[in-house]
């Protein structure tokens, strides 16, 4: 009989393993994110019915058209975290600058990064989308968050996770003690433990990339893709291609089935397309906690130093064997 564990209880138990004097703020922060997931999921699941689809007409800091649901998801998280006192500041894909908790409100010791609704270009066609979050402990003194608290390396994350609004709403997170997945039971409004200790199967079942970028890749990048596509090792005899175009969905599938996801830099995206602080780093922490790896081709993703909050990076993430093989190809070492 599977044990019945709510995400709130699991989070509290995780905090006890992290600190012998839990303040409760860490647990409250993650629990608040689970609450946001329920709110956003409610909007996403009925978007087609209440005119939440389509664009707001605004353009965000990334130069991308902001979808109504993006806006709603962003505002939901901003308003959920701007007053309870768990964090000192936050950064969102939808906000040009960092959002500092003002002096007249309680400030906590954490910094929150989030992509409120990743994959939003898929919203209108009912393809699953997700929320991604990443949490750091503040490192500067005093209650105010400063830029040094935001410009970090992924190894400093204390927690990371995502919510996938798919055939069911799932929240998957890690605090550095494994990766755990919770499925929302909409009848009781609770996230229940459904995937304990997720580990990436060492099977490379899936190759996931946008192959229309192939002509923009370097020869070594193409050589890696060809190595798998043309099954130049028995390991890839059953490897198939899947690409949804929604990072959370492509990543979640590979976490459960095994595989490699690539969004490398190319002629159109010289620094890569995905953002380091609120897309690549949380996925890299989750992948490593699940026995996988993540790289930009030269450097372990979690070692990359952020120099600005919307910094982009190349991301190759999934089975450790394929990530290491990509690095060999990318660095021209595959022939040795």
- What is the spatial distance between Cα 158 and Cα 289, in angstroms, rounded to a whole number? 12
Asked if residue 266 binds ligand P6P (CB under 6 A), the reply is no
> Closest separation between CB of residue 5 and ligand P6P, Å?
29
Transcribe 148-206 into DSSP letters. HHHS-BGGGEEEEEEEEESSSEEEEEESSS-EEEEEEETTTTEEEEEE-S----TT--E
Closest by CA to 91, choosing from 133, 31, 53, is 133
Rank residues 143 and 245 by Cβ distance to ligand P6P and give the closer one.
Answer: 245
Mapping DSSP to helix (H, G, I), strand (E, B) and coil, where does residue 3 land? coil
Asked if residue 183 binds ligand P6P (CB under 6 A), the reply is no
Asked if residue 247 binds ligand P6P (CB under 6 A), the reply is yes
Q: How far does the chain reach from its first CA to its final CA, in angstroms?
A: 51
Asked if residue 119 binds ligand P6P (CB under 6 A), the reply is yes
> Closest separation between CB of residue 19 and ligand P6P, Å?
33
Distance of CA 318 to the CA centre of its chain: 13
Asked if residue 246 binds ligand P6P (CB under 6 A), the reply is yes
Asked if residue 245 binds ligand P6P (CB under 6 A), the reply is yes
> Closest separation between CB of residue 263 and ligand P6P, Å?
6
The total number of residues shown for the chain amounts to: 336
Instruction: Give the interface size with ligand P6P as a residue count (CB under 6 A).
Output: 10
> Closest separation between CB of residue 21 and ligand P6P, Å?
38
Helix 281-289 to helix 247-257 angle (10° resolution) is 10
> Closest separation between CB of residue 122 and ligand P6P, Å?
8
User: Using the 8-state DSSP alphabet, how is residue 314 labeled?
Assistant: -
Rank residues 157 and 246 by Cβ distance to ligand P6P and give the closer one.
Answer: 246
Stretch that binds ligand P6P, among 20-28, 44-52, 191-199, 245-253 (CB under 6 A): 245-253
Closest by CA to 324, choosing from 334, 335, 309, 314, is 334
Q: Figure out which of the listed residues 71, 118, 265, 288 binds ligand P6P, where binding follows CB under 6 A.
A: 118
Asked if residue 121 binds ligand P6P (CB under 6 A), the reply is yes
Residues near 148 by Cβ (< 8 Å), separated by ≥ 6? 139, 140
Asked if residue 210 binds ligand P6P (CB under 6 A), the reply is yes
- What is the spatial distance between Cα 326 and Cα 296, in angstroms, rounded to a whole number? 9
Stretch that binds ligand P6P, among 35-43, 154-162, 224-232, 239-247 (CB under 6 A): 239-247
Give the tokens for residue 132: 């991604």
Stretch that binds ligand P6P, among 41-49, 106-114, 219-227, 241-249 (CB under 6 A): 241-249
Rank residues 87 and 164 by Cβ distance to ligand P6P and give the closer one.
Answer: 164
Name the site residues for ligand P6P (rule: CB under 6 A): 118-119, 121, 210, 245-247, 250, 263, 273
């Amino acid at each position: 009989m599977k044990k019945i564990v709510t995400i709130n209880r699991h989070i509290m138990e995780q905090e006890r393993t992290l600190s012998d004097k839990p303040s409760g703020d860490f647990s409250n922060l993650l629990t608040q994110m689970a609450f946001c997931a329920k709110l956003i999921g409610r909007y996403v699941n009925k978007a087609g019915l209440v005119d939440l689809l389509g664009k707001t007409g605004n353009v965000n800091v990334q130069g991308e058209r902001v979808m109504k649901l993006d806006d709603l998801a962003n505002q939901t998280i901003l308003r959920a975290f701007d007053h309870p006192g768990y964090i000192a500041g936050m950064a969102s894909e939808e906000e040009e600058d960092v959002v500092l908790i003002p002096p007249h409100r309680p400030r906590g010791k954490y910094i929150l990064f989030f992509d409120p609704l990743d994959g939003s270009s898929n919203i209108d066609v009912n393809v699953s989308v997700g929320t991604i979050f990443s949490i750091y402990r503040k490192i500067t003194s005093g209650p105010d968050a400063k830029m040094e608290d935001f410009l970090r390396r992924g190894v400093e994350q204390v927690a990371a996770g995502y919510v996938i609004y798919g055939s069911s709403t799932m929240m998957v997170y890690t605090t550095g003690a494994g990766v755990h997945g919770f499925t929302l039971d909409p009848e009781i409004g609770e996230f229940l433990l459904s995937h304990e200790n997720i580990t990436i199967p060492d099977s490379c079942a899936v190759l996931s990339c946008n192959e229309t970028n192939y002509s923009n890749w370097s020869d070594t990048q193409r050589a890696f893709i060809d190595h798998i596509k043309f099954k130049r090792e028995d390991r890839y005899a059953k490897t198939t291609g899947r690409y949804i175009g929604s990072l959370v969905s492509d990543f979640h599938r590979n976490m459960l089935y095994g595989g490699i996801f690539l969004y490398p830099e190319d002629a159109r995206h010289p620094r890569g397309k995905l953002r380091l602080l609120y897309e690549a780093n949380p996925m890299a922490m989750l992948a490593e906690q699940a026995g996988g790896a993540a790289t930009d081709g030269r450097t372990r993703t979690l070692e990359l130093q952020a120099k600005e909050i919307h910094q982009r990076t190349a991301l190759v993430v999934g089975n450790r064997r394929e990530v290491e093989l990509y690095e060999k190809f990318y660095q021209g070492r595959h022939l040795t």
